[in-house]
């Protein structure tokens, strides 16, 4: 066994940069990108940001960014005044920035971009309001509750020439990019299987807010339960690893193990994706005894284990059951490029162009919604769904 304290090497990964920012392309972690350019480029001006909704449990991500030099929160749309008062006081934000409707907020504050932190069903309404005004949108995962919604969102984004990207926590893991780099370098051989596991004990058991729990366990507002909430991570990662390839078929099985906590939705889901020469298994659960976001990648010559955000193990096959193992302990780089907002700003300001099927990209997340929609159908019918 060998142990290495290692960071991903400098390669093209998520995006390309236009000539105004830098002429070289990279396939690597967002983190090391900051080492290659002047990090002040994203701080040339404060981009005006609007926040659509406060009910998502991840909303603290944008509220904590209120004092950044590269963005300014100019308005918040949230009809629940009690919730708005609680969160603005918690984060030191004036209630003067809070509006009862998205339309009023857009009209009175004229943001350049909007981040959506409400329920997933409302993502379509956010794009419908923002796109005609030329306002760029970033939504929390997944992109949409259904393929019907996703198609409408894509059409609006393309018609009005706005950027529409999707944020996932796993996009910012150093281990995500190291695993990708090892696979694409051919170190473990051609891809044959991916296993992605995501979830926790369940939203009620981990104590999410009442406002978050209300829509997270609503089949209309969330699109489903654990299958949607955590199945999207695996679909997003696998689509990236498969270079945007659509699976030939989707088979899903769901279960409800906590009917007292999740009476309307599934809380246990297994999704099998069949590709031309590989298979992916996505395990999404609100029943894990511990929270987890991990991934296993199997090639013809070895296996990659992304155990958590910063730890990677690589096993190189020897004989029947033997192997040599390397371990990598990665670190966050403490650069501006390890959060969604810096990426979002760089994209909308024309400094970064996302690679096709990059994790936050619209192309990738349209496939994610296709996979999840097929999984919902498969679970309901008990049949494999074949995709065209």
Domain shared by 317 and 176, yes or no: yes
Domain's final residue, options 123, 139, 167: 167
How far is residue 296's CA from residue 304's CA, in Å, rounded to a whole number?
A: 6
Which residues are CB-neighbours of 230 under 8 A, at least 6 positions away?
A: 198, 199, 269, 284, 285, 286
Which of 149, 167, 185 corresponds to the end of one domain? 167
Q: How many domains does the chain have?
A: 2
Q: Domain check: are 115 and 145 in the same one?
A: yes
Model pLDDT, residue 109:
98
pLDDT band per the 50, 70, 90 thresholds, residue 332: confident
When pLDDT is cut at 50, 70 and 90, the band that residue 379 belongs to is very high
Same domain, 73 and 184: no
Structure tokens at 44: 């040339």
- Give residue-wise pLDDT tens across range 62-74: 999 999 999 999 9
Rounded CA-CA distance 142/216 in Å is: 12
Structure tokens at 327: 């371990």
**Does 329 reside within a domain?**
yes
Region 104-111: mean pLDDT is: 98
Q: Decide if 230 is inside a domain.
A: yes
- Separation of alpha carbons 335 and 30, rounded Å: 9
Nearest CA to 254 among 265, 266, 245, 239?
266
Share of the chain above pLDDT 70, in %: 87
Same domain, yes or no, for 308 and 258? Answer: yes
- Domain extent for 132: 37-167
Q: Is 272 found in the same domain as 378?
A: yes
Could you tell me if residue 11 is inside a domain?
no
CATH number of the domain bearing residue 235: 3.30.360.10
**CB contact at 8 A, 34 and 336:** yes
Residue 21 lies in a domain: no
259 is a domain residue: yes
H-run or E-run covering 236: helix 231-241
Q: Is 383 exposed, middle or buried (0-12, 13-18, 19+ CB in 10 A)?
A: exposed
Same domain, 108 and 42: yes
Lowest pLDDT segment from 1-10, 53-62, 311-320, 332-341: 1-10
User: What is the model's pLDDT at position 284?
Assistant: 98
Count CA atoms within 13 Å of residue 344 on its CB side. Answer: 29
| DSSP assignment letter at 247 | P
Residues 278 and 224 both lie in one domain: yes
């Amino acid at each position: 066994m060998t142990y290495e304290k290692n960071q991903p090497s400098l390669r093209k990964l998520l995006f390309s940069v236009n000539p105004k920012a830098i002429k070289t392309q990279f396939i690597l972690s967002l983190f090391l990108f900051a080492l290659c350019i002047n990090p002040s480029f994203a701080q040339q001006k404060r981009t005006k940001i609007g926040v659509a909704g406060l009910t998502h449990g991840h909303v603290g991500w944008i509220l904590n960014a209120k004092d950044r030099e590269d963005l300014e929160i100019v308005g918040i749309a949230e009809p629940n005044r009690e919730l708005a008062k609680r969160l603005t006081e918690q984060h030191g934000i004036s209630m003067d920035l809070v509006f009862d409707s998205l339309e009023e907020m857009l009209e009175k504050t004229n943001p350049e971009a909007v981040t959506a932190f409400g329920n997933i069903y409302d993502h379509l309404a956010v794009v419908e309001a923002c796109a005609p005004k030329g306002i760029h949108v970033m939504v929390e995962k997944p992109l949409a509750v259904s393929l019907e919604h996703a198609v409408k969102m894509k059409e609006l984004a393309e018609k009005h020439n706005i950027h529409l990207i999707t944020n996932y926590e796993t996009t910012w893991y150093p281990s995500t990019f190291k695993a990708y780099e090892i696979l694409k370098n051919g170190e473990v051989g051609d891809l044959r299987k991916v296993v992605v596991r995501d979830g926790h004990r369940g939203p009620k058991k981990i104590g999410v807010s009442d406002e978050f729990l209300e829509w997270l366990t609503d089949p209309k507002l969330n699109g489903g339960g654990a299958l949607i909430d955590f199945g999207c991570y695996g679909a997003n990662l696998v689509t990236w690893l498969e270079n945007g390839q659509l699976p030939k078929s989707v088979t899903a099985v769901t279960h409800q193990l906590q009917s007292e906590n999740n009476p309307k939705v599934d809380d246990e889901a297994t999704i099998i994706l069949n590709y031309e020469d590989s298979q992916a298994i996505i395990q999404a659960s609100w029943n894990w005894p511990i929270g987890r976001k991990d991934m296993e990648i199997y090639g013809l010559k070895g296996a990659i284990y992304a155990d958590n955000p910063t730890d990677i193990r690589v096993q190189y096959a020897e004989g029947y059951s033997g192997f040599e193992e390397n371990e990598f302990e990665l670190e966050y780089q403490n650069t501006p490029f390890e959060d969604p907002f810096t990426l979002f700003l760089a994209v909308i300001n024309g400094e970064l162009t996302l690679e096709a099927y990059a994790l936050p990209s619209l192309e990738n997340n349209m496939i994610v919604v296709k996979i999840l929609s097929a999984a919902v159908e498969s679970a309901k019918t008990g049949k494999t769904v074949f995709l065209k």
